[in-house]
Structure 1
Amino acid sequence: MNETSKPKNEFLSWLVAIFFGIVLSFICREFVFSPLIVKGASMVPTYENSDVIIISKISDIDRFDHVVFQSPYEDEYYIKRVIGLPGDTVEMKEDILIINGEEYDEPYVNRDIENPFQKRLTENFTLKELTGESQVPDGFLFVLGDNRLRSSDSRHFGLISEESILGESKLRIYPLSDLHLFRGKEELNLN
């Protein structure tokens, strides 16, 4: 091998490595995971405005997971908590969440009430009153924000299609002082 072909071969090998790195990162971002910036206060205290999260596009969605989905009425993505899965009945009575007849504690809900005359965080409802369905139908989910007084969610726009889901929030990476790994009902603070 002569001396002039050695730098040329090295340059080509770097070029191929860079090309495959770009292709691999594109594939991962499109089909496996993606970073997003949270906008708004509908998920306070779980997420604050401008938090940066990583979503998994290959996760199986379960109750209480945080999902990012296409808004039903605007060109935006929303992040909300999954409350009702297909086949579930959902209702709220006196700020108590009832799914399939079982009461659930909601420690993640923002309980700060600014108005002293406000008696409840979440108005009473049944799934049938909101959507006309007695159970969440196949292919759909019932979602709520953690900041119930400031969230536009299934109480307002109805059920969301599973096809509209971009992914599940798995990791908050910014701000660094509040780094969290989300695993279903369990949260790990990584600080």
Structure 2
Amino acid sequence: MSRRRKNDVGGSVLRELGGWLLYILIIVGLTYLIITFVGQRTRVSGYSMEPTLSDGDSLIVDKISYRFRDPKRFDIIVFPYKYEKNTYYIKRIIGLPGETVQVTDGYVYINGQKLESDTYGAELMQAEASPVTLSEDEYFVMGDNRNHSSDSRDPSVGVIKRKDLMGRAFLRVYPFDKIGVIKHE
């Protein structure tokens, strides 16, 4: 009888370890799927989105919502910088597909009309920008700290294609005193 009990204990331990191993594999698999298709963590580097986002803020990027809806004006988006691998920019959408965007006298104009609802720019813009007409899959983006931002006004960034949008900044997770959902409008 003691021999049988010993085998039962050994088998029980192996079943328990197998259960834990399966549990860990499922968690790792789900984590991979979530990071790949649903959300991703990123960190703000620089001051181009001040005062909305600050240098060192850690964010969760929602990678799934743009599969079901179009990006909207004032969404804060994340996209890859085309000249440097593994570098991402965080900017705010200002111009939508089909619109003509221009910066004159320190203000943004969409299709010749001043963008009155643009309360995100920290100050009047010093640089002018010639009119840019966006195609059906292009977006014009700007940082909130407009005089200190490389954005669609800069030829090295230019307009952003829909396919290049990694996702929408969704949640600030650090610093802890600023944790919360990021307001886009």
Q: Same fold (TM over 0.5)?
A: yes
The CA deviation string for residues 104-126 of structure 1, in whole angstroms up to 9 with x for no partner, is 23222223xxxxxxxx4243334
Task: Flag structure 1 segments of 5+ consecutive residues without an equivalent.
Answer: 112-119, 129-134, 186-191
Alignment counterpart, residue 127 of structure 2, candidates 120, 123, 135: 123
More deviation in 69-78 or 100-109? 100-109
The CA deviation string for residues 7-34 of structure 1, in whole angstroms up to 9 with x for no partner, is 1111101100000100100110011101
Answer yes or no: is 1:81 the counterpart of 2:92.
yes
Whole-Å Cα distance in 2 between the matches of residues 169 and 149 of structure 1? 22
Q: RMSD value over aligned CA atoms?
A: 1.8
The CA deviation string for residues 66-115 of structure 1, in whole angstroms up to 9 with x for no partner, is 1111113223211000111111121223233222344323222223xxxx
Whole-Å Cα distance in 2 between the matches of residues 41 and 82 of structure 1? 17
Return the letter of the residue paired with 2:80. Q
Q: Indicate conservation of the 8 Å contact 1:62/1:184, yes or no.
A: no
Whole-Å Cα distance in 2 between the matches of residues 30 and 122 of structure 1? 39
Q: How does 1:136-155 map to 2 (within 5 A)?
A: 136-155=134-153
Answer yes or no: is 1:105 the counterpart of 2:111.
no
Q: Indicate conservation of the 8 Å contact 1:35/1:52, yes or no.
A: yes
In structure 2, what is the equivalent of residue 179 of structure 1?
A: 179
Query: Number of aligned pairs?
Result: 171
Pair member with larger Rg: 2
Q: Indicate conservation of the 8 Å contact 2:39/2:62, yes or no.
A: yes
Secondary structure of 1:64 counterpart: coil
In structure 2, what is the equivalent of residue 115 of structure 1?
A: none
Whole-Å Cα distance in 1 between the matches of residues 126 and 59 of structure 2? 26
After TM superposition, give the deviation of residue 183 of structure 1 in Å: 4.5
More deviation in 23-32 or 73-82? 73-82
TM-score relative to the length of structure 2: 0.85
Task: Flag structure 2 segments of 5+ consecutive residues without an equivalent.
Answer: 1-6
Q: Structure 1 stretches (4+) deviating beyond 6 angstroms?
A: none
Answer yes or no: is 1:7 the counterpart of 2:5.
no
Percent identity between the two aligned chains: 35
More deviation in 90-99 or 7-16? 90-99
More deviation in 88-97 or 54-63? 88-97
